[in-house]
């Protein structure tokens, strides 16, 4: 042990120049500790106090305000959630929307049956002329209105010539024929209009089947417009029917007038005969 120590010391002594130079260089090169830039305790205390004040201000002013904001936003969120819940579960539940759309499909099914019923043929005439007239009258085709007058005359005969009937009688016959033909023509037009209305109603029901809850009332508004129009057509049809009744009543009155005229002339003729005898 002592020998090893002696050797080490000997080695140091032999290389003392290099070691001294190395120690010097290391002493110079090794970085020295940097002193703090604010070394004065008073300055540090002031700065710490100032930072504390800033911190307190931030906590009190910004932190407090943000806390209030957070509470308010939380309350708003709660209300929005409640309203959303009301709309999703009470006002517009998806299941109810689906049910309503399914119901519209069922209504469409019923009206498909109704259309089929309304279009069931009801013709039954057997002779040529009546069959022709009946086909036109039940055709629901406005293009056949032009043929109806000729077909009507084929069944109900034309206006009698002046040699066969008195002018008043011809007037009544002409007016009655006109009213009857007009009614048959209007019946064709009304049938065609009704078909178009059924088509429009189908279109609206199909649209309603895919409508959103918010747009269903828009389809309803369109339906209301069509309903008003449809009432107008019904009124027009009723008016035509009433016109026909009025002509019928007028004919009854005309018959009584003719009878009164015939009775007067008969009495006159009888009186003349009696005077001559």
Partner 1 sequence: MDALRGDGATAIRALFAGLMAVVCLTRVRRVVALAVTTTLLIAVITPQPVYAQAEVGAVVAAVISVLNTINNVIRGLFSIANNVLSQINSGMQAFRNLMDTVVYPQALIAQARGMVSSMIATFRSLLSSIFNIGVASAQLPAPSALEGVTRNRSVGDFGALSQAYVQTYGPLPPAANASPMERDLVDMDDAAAQAQLKTLKAADAVSDQTIAVSMLLEDEGQQVAPGTADYLVAAGIIASVQNQAVMQKMIAAQMRQEAARLAHQNMIRKRNAMFGNQLRNSLSDFMRRR
Residues 224-243 that bind partner 1 (CB under 8 A): 224, 226-227, 230-231, 233-234, 237-238, 240-241
Interaction with partner 1 in 178-207: which residues (CB under 8 A)? 179-181, 183-184, 186-188, 190-191, 193-195, 197-198, 200-201, 204-205
Least Cβ distance, residue 108 to partner 1 (angstroms): 9
- Round to whole Å and give the CA distance between 5 and 11: 10
- 96 scored as a contact of partner 1 (CB under 8 A): yes
The answer to whether 153 touches 130, Cβ cutoff 8 Å, is: no
Q: Tell me if 149 contacts partner 1 by CB under 8 A.
A: no
Rule CB under 8 A: is residue 150 a binding residue for partner 1? no
Q: Is 165 in contact with 230 (CB distance < 8 Å)?
A: no
Q: Cβ closer to partner 1: 3 or 37?
A: 37
Choose one: 4-12, 169-177, 266-274; the region binding partner 1 (CB under 8 A). Answer: 169-177
- Contacts of residue 62, Cβ cutoff 8 Å, sequence gap at least 6: none
**Shortest CA distance to 209 belongs to which of 99, 104, 110?**
104
58 touches partner 1 (CB under 8 A): yes
Options 130, 139, 144, 149; binder of partner 1; rule CB under 8 A: 130
Indicate which single residue of 92, 168, 261, 272 sits in contact with partner 1 (rule: CB under 8 A): 92
Measured in whole angstroms, how far is the alpha carbon of residue 102 from the centre of its chain?
16
Token digits of residue 152? 């009507």
Closest CB to partner 1 among 147 and 216? Answer: 216
**Sign of dihedral through CA atoms 194, 197, 203, 205?**
negative
Write the DSSP symbol of residue 163. T
CA–CA dist 78, 66 (Å, integer): 18
Q: Between residues 224 and 266, which has the closer beta carbon with respect to partner 1?
A: 224
The span of 4-12, 163-171, 267-275 binding partner 1 (CB under 8 A) equals: 163-171
* C-alpha count within 13 angstroms, C-beta hemisphere, residue 238: 6
Residue 144 engages partner 1 in binding (rule: CB under 8 A): no
Among positions 122, 143, 273, 274, the unique one binding partner 1 when judged by CB under 8 A: 122
> CA nearest 174: which of 66, 122, 251, 80?
251
Number of chain positions touching partner 1 (CB under 8 A)? 132
């Amino acid at each position: 042990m002592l020998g090893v120590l002696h050797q080490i010391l000997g080695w140091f002594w032999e290389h003392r120049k290099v070691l001294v130079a190395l120690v010097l260089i290391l002493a110079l090169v090794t970085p020295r500790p940097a002193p703090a830039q604010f070394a004065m305790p008073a300055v540090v205390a002031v700065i710490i106090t100032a930072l504390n004040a800033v911190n307190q201000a931030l906590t009190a002013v910004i932190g407090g305000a943000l806390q209030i904001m957070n509470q308010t936003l939380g309350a708003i969120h709660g209300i929005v959630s409640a309203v959303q819940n009301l709309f999703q579960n009470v006002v517009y539940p998806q299941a109810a929307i689906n049910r309503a759309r399914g119901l519209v499909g069922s209504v469409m099914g019923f009206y498909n049956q109704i259309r089929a019923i309304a279009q069931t043929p009801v013709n039954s005439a057997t002779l040529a002329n009546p069959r022709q007239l009946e086909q036109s009258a039940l055709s629901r085709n406005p293009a056949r209105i032009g043929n109806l007058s000729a077909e009507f005359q084929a069944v109900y005969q034309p206006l009698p010539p002046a040699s066969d009937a008195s002018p008043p009688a011809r007037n009544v016959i002409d007016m009655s024929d006109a009213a009857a033909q007009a009614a048959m023509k209007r019946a064709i037009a009304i049938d065609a209009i009704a078909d178009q209305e059924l088509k429009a109603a189908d279109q609206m029901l199909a649209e309603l089947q895919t409508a959103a809850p918010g747009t269903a009332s828009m389809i309803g508004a369109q339906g209301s417009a069509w309903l008003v129009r449809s009432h107008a057509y019904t009124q027009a049809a009723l008016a035509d029917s009433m016109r026909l009744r009025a002509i019928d009543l007028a004919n009854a009155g005309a018959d009584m007038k003719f009878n009164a005229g015939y009775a007067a002339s008969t009495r006159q003729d009888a009186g003349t005969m009696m005077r001559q005898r």
